[in-house]
Amino acid sequence: MTLTAAGTDPHRVDAIVDAMARAIEPEAKRLGQMAVEETGYGNVADKRVKNLFNALSVADYLRDIKTLGMLWSDENTKVAAFGEPMGVVAALIPVTNPTSTIIFKVLSAVKAGNAIVCAPHPRGVKCGLETVRIMAEVATGMGAPAGLIQCLDQVTQQGTAELMRHRRTSVVMATGGPAMVKAAYSSGKPTLAVGAGNVPCYVHKSKADDISEVAEQIIVSKCFDYGTACVSEQAVIADREVARDLRHELKLHGGYFCTPAEADRLAAVIFNGPRAMNPERVGQSPAALAQAAGFSVPPRTRVLISEESEIGWQRPLSAEKLNPVLAFYEAKNTDHGIQLSHQIAQFEGWGHTAVVHSNDPDVVARYSAAPTGRVLVNTPAIMGGMGYSTDLEPSFMLGTGTWSGSITSDNVTALHLINIKRVAYECRPWRDIYEQYGEDA
């Protein structure tokens, strides 16, 4: 059932979305606490921020866009566009962001007039159910149909697969690991799914005077929620002219450079093999990761850093790492720095995001040839990619495009959850086609 089908106008939909967002705000910390306790991933302070970003920034964005009814009309072309709901959204929720992703997807789906059924990860059922309960109670209290917003309370792979394939499911929104994304695209339903991200961060020599700010951005972004966001930096590539100072500043801001032996032991606990991230090490603190790898770090360490020179599974730390661990490369020159960055993106990160810190517009233009859907300039990857420190659409679902088999490279929003109907009047005589293209024309 959709809100518009129940006779609710777009203004009523907006009121419900706003009310659900307001209901989440005072619960943001509690939901974050529940997520950390249930999943064992991340930290409460940053989970709270993620929840608030969706309840405030995403909600603010949704308030200003049209999704239902007439979207636009053009008197000259005699075409008008109308937004209509898709129907029922099957929303797959990742264990790394079990509450914030639900907030984002519920607000977006309802803004588009859809019903939504959330399928959380088995390790995120309790916090997922509680997040849905808060939002659903508000919606039904304002007259929304009962059952408009639901969450599976018993989660299995088979059950999630049945949800995606169900005859009443109209579209699938899948956020999660490669297996989940593959299953979503195999469901036979229209699917919005996102792939992995191996985000390179190139620091050009033109940032020499701002190197402390660059280091702080990198550290804050990578340690945010203990690295559980796939949009955070994965590898830093620094020009030789600034590499030494950047290392120093990274250390001052909480970076710990591992010895080669420590880095090898760290890789062994983070990965079980190629393309096999150890789920028990995702979203863990630097101290916990170091302890598991058999070494110790200073008390205020925020990110573990490994000096690397190769890219590929022979050096696992050059891949995506969903924890506060960075690879660090020194580039011989600008060409080499851009080359290394593009290679990182091509290694397990096609289509996602790349970051460049540079004051040279020509370097930014060259760097932007990276095979990614987003190129962020002079900003932390996580804040820029999700649309907080940039004017990208605020989103917790970042498309990776056909580079990685996704249908979109956009920051996914409610506008991706509507069908757009065009009403078009005749604007030129139809018989003219024979005069223009006829045999004797």
Catalogue the active-site residues.
Answer: 230
Distance CA 284, CA 368 (A): 32
27 phi/psi in degrees, rounded to 5: -100, 0
Indicate the helix (H) or strand (E) that contains 20. helix 10-24
Comparing C-alpha atoms, which of 318, 325, 320 is closest to residue 293?
A: 325
Residues 6 or more apart in contact with residue 328 via CB below 8 angstroms: 235, 236, 238, 247, 257, 305, 306, 307, 308
**Dihedral sign, CA of 117, 401, 64, 420?**
negative
Q: Would you list the DSSP string of 220-265?
A: HHHHGGGG--TTSEEEEEEEHHHHHHHHHHHHHTTEEEPPHHHHHH
Distance CA 372, CA 199 (A): 9
Residue that the structure tokens 């992995």 belong to: 196
Distance CA 71, CA 421 (A): 10
- Fill in the DSSP letter of residue 56: I
Burial of 185: CB neighbours in 10 Å, binned 0-12, 13-18, 19+: middle
